[in-house]
Amino acid sequence: MKTTIEAHKTEFGIEPKHEIEVVCSHCKDPVSALEESTGVCTNCGQPWAPQQNISIWVTTLPAAGAKTWGSQ
């Protein structure tokens, strides 16, 4: 099961786009809604203990404004 949160502004800055995927801790197969309700992985047959894989997208970089010797 994947949940994607798009980038958005918060009172503290910008929260980047990120995706959270819940997988079976035994076989790493993505967990479906059926598996979540029964608690058993349909791929390996084991009771799954949830594990999360998180992906984060960085879309912008702050400007670097370092001065070198002799520049104004």
Listed by start position, the domains of the chain span 21-55
Query: Residues 51-66: what's their mean pLDDT?
Result: 74
Query: Residues 52-68: what's their mean pLDDT?
Result: 71
Q: Which pLDDT score is estimated for 50?
A: 79
| 25 Cβ contact partners less than 8 Å away, ≥ 6 residues apart | 48, 49, 50, 51
Residue 46, amino acid = Q
Whole-prediction pTM:
0.60
Percent of the chain exceeding pLDDT 70 equals 81
Query: Residues 10-32: what's their mean pLDDT?
Result: 88
